Amino acid sequence: MRLGLTGGIASGKSLVSGMLKNLGAEIIDVDMMARELVVPGSPALEEIEREFGACMILPDGTLDRRRLGDLVFTDPGALARLNAIMFPRMFDEVASRLNVFRLNQPCDDRRAPAPMASQPPPGAGRDDEVLASGVVVVDAAILYEAGMDALVDRVIVVWADEETRIKRLMDRNGFSRSDAAARVAAQIPLIEKVRRADFVIDNSGSAANTERQVRRLWMELVGRPGAQA
C-alpha cells in the first residue's frame, strides 16, 4: 500500500510520520530527499545558482537554505522558478522508489503501478527496507503541489488551524509573526488539502490525541495493530 502524507507547514506532519514509522510503515522523506538532490556539485544546485545567483551558495559549497527561503516565501515568482527546478526531480525520485516497492510486492497485489520515472531506481541499500513492510508512506509537504498524489493509493492530511501553525513556527524557528504568516500563506491553503484528502488527522490538540487517531487509522488501513502497539 502506498500512502501519501502531507499537511501545511508546522501542522505536525513530521510527528505523524514518526508515529506511522513506529507502527511499521516505511517512510520516503521527501524533504530529506530534496536536500540530497542539492548537494554540492549536483545538477539541481548548479541550476539554482544559475537562476538565483552565487549569493545562494555558502562558502562550503552548500545551499544557503535560509537565504533562499527568505526569498521564495516572499516572492511568488521566485517560488515558482524554484519549484520548476525541484519538482520534476523530486517526482522522478519518488516514483523510482515506489516502483522498486511495487515490483517486489506479492503477486496478488493488483493495485495500479506508479507512473514510471525518467530515471532508473536508485541502488540505495534502503530498497530492501522499503520492500519488507507492505506499507510505504510518501512524507511530502508538497505532495499536491508537485503532483505526487498521483503516485499513491490514499492521502492522509495532517490538520492544525492557522494560528496554531503560526505560533509553532515562531516558537520552533524563531520567525517573526510576519515571516511565519508568509510561509503559511505560500502553500496551498490547508483546507483545500483537507478537501482533497482521503483521511484527516487533527493535530491541533495533544500528541496523545494525535497518536490515538493515527493508531485507529492504521487499524482501518492495515487491519492489525502496529509494531509498537
Going from N- to C-terminal start, the domains of the chain cover: 2-222
pLDDT at 106: 60
- Helix or strand (DSSP H, E) at 29: strand 26-29
Question: Quick one: pLDDT band at residue 72, thresholds 50, 70, 90?
Answer: very high
User: What average pLDDT does this structure show over 62-82?
Assistant: 94
- Overall size of the chain counted in residues: 229
The strand order across the sheet containing 199-202 reads 26-29, 136-139, 2-7, 154-159, 199-202
All cell numbers assigned to 58: 555558502
Question: Quick one: pLDDT band at residue 225, thresholds 50, 70, 90?
Answer: low
pLDDT at 228: 52
Question: What is this structure's pTM?
Answer: 0.82
Residues 6 or more apart whose Cβ sits within 8 Å of residue 201? 12, 16, 156, 157, 158, 159, 210, 213, 214, 217
CA 213, CA 83: separation in Å to the nearest integer? 32
The pLDDT mean for the chain works out to 87
* Angle subtended at Cα 84 by Cα 18 and Cα 194, rounded to the nearest 5 degrees: 45
Candidate from 53-62, 78-87, 115-124 with smallest mean pLDDT:
115-124
Candidate from 11-25, 37-51, 71-85, 179-193 with smallest mean pLDDT:
179-193
CATH of domain 2-222: 3.40.50.300
